[in-house]
């Protein structure tokens, strides 16, 4: 067989295998891994450090069925904190910084920020559909904690 034929045959085999090994559907395990990894990157980012000082309160370590259909489960990541510069930051500015951090991690807005905004409260909802993860950020002037970050996986049927 000529070299060109061998290369062409190898290319066809590679394309065939690559097409078959495309990205798999997410599972609760892979979504939880993405959730925790992205939350860690987010909290370590300059965007979030400029927004506030946070403490992690839940790290997607256990299944929850509270928001899912019967027989399904999901996992949560939660962090809360206060403005980095109390009295100098607005809820919109703090939520915007965190939204920028999530955008850098390839999360897309689900709800326009102005839809859930007033002088006292700002809410951001973003999603990474490929990872099956959504983040909700709320920032408010009072009471403390001023800022809450909740990340959650999609609901998955038990056994997935």
Dihedral of CA 10/16/22/27: which sign? negative
**How far is the C-alpha of 109 from the C-alpha of 128, rounded, in Å?**
9
Burial class (CB in 10 A: 0-12, 13-18, 19+), 54: buried
Asked whether the predicted pLDDT for residue 17 surpasses 60, the reply is: no
Report the C-alpha gap between 135 and 125 in whole angstroms. 6
Sign, CA torsion 112/94/37/159: negative
pLDDT, tens digit, 9 for 90 and up, residues 26-68: 999 999 999 999 999 999 999 999 999 999 999 999 998 788 9
Task: Give the residues across from 76 on adjacent strands.
Answer: 152
Reported pTM:
0.82
Query: In a 10 Å sphere around its CB, with 0-12 CB exposed, 13-18 middle and 19+ buried, how is residue 46 labelled?
Result: exposed
The fraction of the chain above a pLDDT of 90, given in percent, is 70
- The dihedrals phi and psi of 4, each to the nearest 5 degrees, come to -60, -40
Please report which confidence band the pLDDT of residue 4 belongs to, taking 50, 70 and 90 as the band edges: very low
What residues have CB less than 8 Å from 51, skipping those under 6 apart?
Answer: 83, 84, 89, 93, 94, 95, 97, 98, 139, 147
Instruction: Domain ranges for the chain, please list them.
Output: 25-157
Q: Is 91 exposed, middle or buried (0-12, 13-18, 19+ CB in 10 A)?
A: buried
């Amino acid at each position: 067989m000529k070299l060109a034929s061998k290369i062409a045959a190898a290319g066809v085999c590679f394309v065939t295998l690559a097409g078959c090994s495309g990205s798999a559907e997410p599972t609760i395990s892979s979504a939880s891994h993405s959730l925790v990894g992205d939350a860690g990157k987010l909290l370590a980012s300059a965007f979030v450090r400029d927004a506030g000082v946070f403490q992690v309160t839940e790290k997607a370590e256990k299944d929850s069925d509270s928001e899912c259909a019967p027989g399904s489960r999901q996992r949560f990541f939660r962090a809360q904190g206060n403005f980095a510069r109390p009295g100098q930051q607005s809820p919109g500015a703090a939520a915007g910084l965190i939204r920028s951090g999530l955008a850098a991690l390839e999360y897309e807005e689900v709800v326009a920020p102005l839809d859930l905004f007033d002088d006292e409260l700002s809410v951001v909802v973003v999603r990474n559909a490929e990872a099956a993860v959504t983040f909700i950020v709320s920032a408010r002037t009072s009471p403390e904690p001023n800022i809450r970050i909740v990340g959650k996986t999609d609901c998955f049927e038990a056994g997935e």
